[in-house]
Structure 1
Amino acid sequence: MVDAFEEEEHMVYSVVFSELLQQSIREKNLSAGRRVHSLIIGSGCEADYMLASSLVHMFAVCGSLAEAIQIFHRMQKRNVYAWTALMDGYTESGQYSQAIEAYYEMEQLNLETDGHVFVAVLRACSGLKSLEDGRHIHACIMESGLDSNVYVSSALINMYAKCGTLDNAYVVFEKLSKGNVVSWSALIQGCVEHSHGKAALQLFRHMEEECVEPNEVTYISMLKACSSITALEQGKHMHAQIIQKGLESNLSIGNALIDMYSKCGSICDAHTMFHRMFNVDVISWSSLIGGYAKHNNYHSALGAFLCMQEMNIEPNGITYLSVLSACSHAVLFAEGCYHFKCMAETHSIWPTLEHYNALVDIIGRSGRLDAAEDLIETLPFGGPNYAGWTSLLDSCRLHGEVSRGKECFDRIVSIEDRDALGYVLMSSIYAKVGLWDDFRKIEDLRKCANLVKKPAKAYIEVDSSIHEFIVDDNSHPQIHEVYMKLSSLDLRMRELGYIPQQRLDSFPVKEVAAFCGHSEKLAIAFGLISTPEGTTVRVAKNLRVCTDCHNSVKLISKIERREIIIADAYQIHHFREGDCCCKDEYA
């Protein structure tokens, strides 16, 4: 009878403790979870493997992975729930390899897996971008018959998208009899992450046709898609939907709206959105500061930076990256060095490699190439610094420094020999100083290495439709009218003294037409013939705008009396009456 009473008492304790642990998990309250753990030990229930599994889950979710691992290894019997919690804990802390190893260890025990296990390990594969492991897990899923589970399939879609194989993600998606918001959002997010903003917008329309209700994750991805191709009208349409669904007060969505408006070239709308928000955090401020930086408005960026501190919001590392970016765009050496120094001295934020590379960019763009190189060579980080040497090579391009540029190029190739960017920058230096034989040699080297330059693309939104152009495009249905408009503009620009510059992708070029086929020029010409006079022409470019196009667009803005906005890979250019907001510090 005593045994029965003790067993019943133990069951009551287990139920109570289990509920208390679930509450700690929901609230992510580590201190409360630790108190429950103490009560479990005091009651003698620690050997209960279900409670132990819940403890592993609680500690993992609440950010104390060490305690989760400790309890896991003390368990005499480990169920699937405990293994899943451990994998989730590893993934949440960025220890993706350990999460995958845990799965393989569990696999050896022949435990019966479920959808939760596969979702957990696929998240780790996504984080590690391990396609090989992901494909192995996919085979296991097929074997278990869980490939029709929408949540498992959504995790597969996300894994393939993160690993850069969107075709596989589409195949998994198409096999679903009916996708839910998670699977649709995973595919849309994959498109956005791989610079397929136009495809993401098309998917969103199909999703609406299927009557699948978007959620917070969907809208954030869609706002990023609009940002990537400066689809301002589509972005405003998303904003209207967000308001209609009562989601505008969501902090993450509000921050994404600030980012979308600024990247679409409408910093005024970004500013308005910021001031509409009931609550703002450090991300909100950093997004606004970053927007001002991209628009080459250092003074507004600094004003926002000071204002956030007056409101007792402490900047973080991302905030400082935005501030340093503003200094770089405006070529403000002293200010950049001052802010870099203040990171640690004033705010106890220790600079990461990314912060140091931002400083390298500031120093290099100001023409202090010796100092920039010295900084790279003496950084307090081990390992190669591809980004730092690439930044210095770009500064050498800006200042026409051939010898140092070649040294940087050699360092870049020794670090990463499968990326064409170093070759492109080095060939640009040779072209800038007129060393065409060396230009040809570096291009031949690139081609021999089978390195393909990233194709230039430009996007323009007209009447809520996205039009895409590539270099020397002939595929657009109105391309004849586009080239006629360019020819007309070319004549008028020459009357104003315009002299075309050598185009680097067609050495040696003599034909006049060769100076007119860059993707951004085609998009602008299409915008001019497709929109009412006086309206703004807004174009996105996936690469940096070239010198010739920049000079051309300045004149076009003057001739057409239009504001022209180009959001390129580096910053946002506002052309008005023959001038650009970047003050020609772009090249």
Structure 2
Amino acid sequence: MGRIIPNDLPFYAALLDSISAARDLPLLRRTHGRLVHLSLSPRPFLRSKLLAAYARCSRLHESRLLLSLFLSSSLRLPPLFSLNALLSSLPPLPSLLLLRRMLYLGVKPNSLSFSAALRSAAAIPSLRLVRLLHALSIVSSLHHPPSLIAAYSKSGDFPSARKVFDEMPERARSFEARTAMISALGAHGMAEEAVGMFDEMGPEVDDKAVTAALAACAHAGMLVEARRVFRSVSGRRRTVEHYTCMVDVLGRAGRVEEAEALLTEMEAEEMDEGIWAALLAACRLHGRIDVAERIADRLYGLKAELNNCTSAS
């Protein structure tokens, strides 16, 4: 008896949701092919799910193609969840142009739409656009303080970022808002205040808050405080971002060998380009050619090990 292949919409909708969450591009392509074979891909609901999944997998060409199919077939935009995925994945200028088109066609954005647009405006960076989006979010009753704090800070307007935070009621200052403020303080030379706010958050802080506090310490060269923040996180919870920030702090302080030793706590597959770049930058800053050579040997060894694993699989 042959294998039964489901052809119902709810099954594939749920499957595409799980693929989108996992960002599993190979499975997404196989599923898309199956939908084409079953003549289900033109269905607007599944097409919108495909668009969102491709956007989540950073496949912007496919996402844009599906968006153009929507516009050519129905002269209207896909559902908001697909548009939000695309807004978050597109480069800054196309993302903002898409939001403008949404508004022109009468699509009402939500807080996720504005958060994505604020990230794009801050990435340009354009303080004028950030202020325009802030005004639009107030008119639309979609005020999202954490995104506004981050956008104003990255656009160089720290007083506005602080004003947004200070005007929030104490009970409304979520971990996300406090983390955004810690990042803003650290980026604008107020690392001690940033670490103080981190301490006020208590022991249940999330990984993003730890990264923000460590980054603030790195910018200010606060090695003692960075060690304390780093030690406050158990080894089980430490992320590659935590290690990268700590390597940066140690490297700036001239503790290059200690930074190198810290990497022995990590699994090989966890290490990314950022952490090696931070360590090599420290070697260059302090003239430690010997450590740089060891890092190069280790990188070549890791590359060969990974190639062997890939061949074996």
| Shift in CA distance, 286/167, structure 1 to aligned 2, threshold 3 Å | same
**SS at the partner of 1:186?**
helix
CA–CA distance in structure 2, aligned partners of residues 368 and 397 of structure 1: 13
CA–CA distance in structure 2, aligned partners of residues 298 and 411 of structure 1: 34
1:361 and 2:248 aligned = yes
| Structure 2 match to 1:199 | 94
Q: Please report the RMSD computed on the Cα atoms of aligned residues, expressed in angstroms.
A: 2.5
Unpaired runs of 5+ residues, structure 2, are 305-313
Q: Which has the higher strand share?
A: 1
Structure 1 residue 382 displacement after superposition: 5.9
1:237 and 2:132 aligned = yes
1:398 and 2:270 aligned = no
Choose the corresponding residue for 2:214, options 324, 329, 341.
Answer: 324
The C-alpha deviation readout for 1:461-484, integer Å capped at 9, x for no partner, is xxxxxxxxxxxxxxxxxxxxxxxx
| Shift in CA distance, 319/182, structure 1 to aligned 2, threshold 3 Å | closer
Aligned residue identity for 1:187: L
Q: How does 1:429-508 map to 2 (within 5 A)?
A: none
Structure 1 residue 236 displacement after superposition: 1.2
**SS at the partner of 2:40?**
coil
Aligned residue identity for 2:231: K
Choose the corresponding residue for 1:304, options 197, 203, 216.
Answer: 197
Choose the corresponding residue for 2:174, options 281, 285, 296.
Answer: 281
Q: How does 1:108-147 map to 2 (within 5 A)?
A: 108-114=3-9, 116-147=10-41
The C-alpha deviation readout for 1:286-337, integer Å capped at 9, x for no partner, is 110011122232122123224445xxx8423321211111111111212211
The C-alpha deviation readout for 1:328-387, integer Å capped at 9, x for no partner, is 11112122112222345xxx984344323322221112111111112212x164646334
Aligned residue identity for 1:336: A
Choose the corresponding residue for 1:337, options 215, 222, 227.
Answer: 227
Identity of aligned residues (%): 26
Structure 1 residue 413 displacement after superposition: 4.4
Aligned residue identity for 2:175: V
| Shift in CA distance, 201/390, structure 1 to aligned 2, threshold 3 Å | same
| Structure 2 match to 1:264 | 155
Structure exhibiting the larger radius of gyration computed from Cα positions: 1
Aligned residue identity for 1:275: D
The C-alpha deviation readout for 1:491-541, integer Å capped at 9, x for no partner, is xxxxxxxxxxxxxxxxxxxxxxxxxxxxxxxxxxxxxxxxxxxxxxxxxxx
1:169 and 2:60 aligned = no
CA–CA distance in structure 2, aligned partners of residues 127 and 355 of structure 1: 24
Aligned residue identity for 1:302: V
Output the TM-score relative to the length of structure 2: 0.84
Structure 1 residue 186 displacement after superposition: 2.6
Unpaired runs of 5+ residues, structure 1, are 1-106, 418-587
Q: Which has the higher helix share?
A: 2
Aligned residue identity for 2:253: S
CA–CA distance in structure 2, aligned partners of residues 406 and 305 of structure 1: 37
Q: How does 1:395-434 map to 2 (within 5 A)?
A: 395-415=282-302
| Shift in CA distance, 118/416, structure 1 to aligned 2, threshold 3 Å | farther
| Shift in CA distance, 138/368, structure 1 to aligned 2, threshold 3 Å | same
Aligned residue identity for 1:206: R
| Shift in CA distance, 132/306, structure 1 to aligned 2, threshold 3 Å | closer
The C-alpha deviation readout for 1:110-157, integer Å capped at 9, x for no partner, is 33421x322322233334433332122112223344333333222211
Output the TM-score relative to the length of structure 1: 0.47
| Structure 2 match to 1:216 | 111
Structure 1 residue 414 displacement after superposition: 4.2
| Structure 1 match to 2:307 | none
Aligned residue identity for 2:225: E
CA–CA distance in structure 2, aligned partners of residues 190 and 159 of structure 1: 11
| Structure 2 match to 1:104 | none
Contact 1:151–1:182 (CA under 8 A) maintained in structure 2: no
Choose the corresponding residue for 2:188, options 270, 295, 301.
Answer: 295
CA–CA distance in structure 1, aligned partners of residues 269 and 26 of structure 2: 26
| Shift in CA distance, 296/405, structure 1 to aligned 2, threshold 3 Å | farther
CA–CA distance in structure 1, aligned partners of residues 23 and 233 of structure 2: 32
Structure 1 residue 398 displacement after superposition: 2.4
| Shift in CA distance, 259/110, structure 1 to aligned 2, threshold 3 Å | same
Contact 1:151–1:183 (CA under 8 A) maintained in structure 2: no
Contact 2:52–2:83 (CA under 8 A) maintained in structure 1: no
| Structure 2 match to 1:186 | 85
CA–CA distance in structure 1, aligned partners of residues 34 and 200 of structure 2: 54
CA–CA distance in structure 1, aligned partners of residues 239 and 57 of structure 2: 26
Contact 2:268–2:302 (CA under 8 A) maintained in structure 1: no
CA–CA distance in structure 2, aligned partners of residues 109 and 151 of structure 1: 23
CA–CA distance in structure 1, aligned partners of residues 17 and 193 of structure 2: 40
Choose the corresponding residue for 1:370, options 242, 257, 262.
Answer: 257
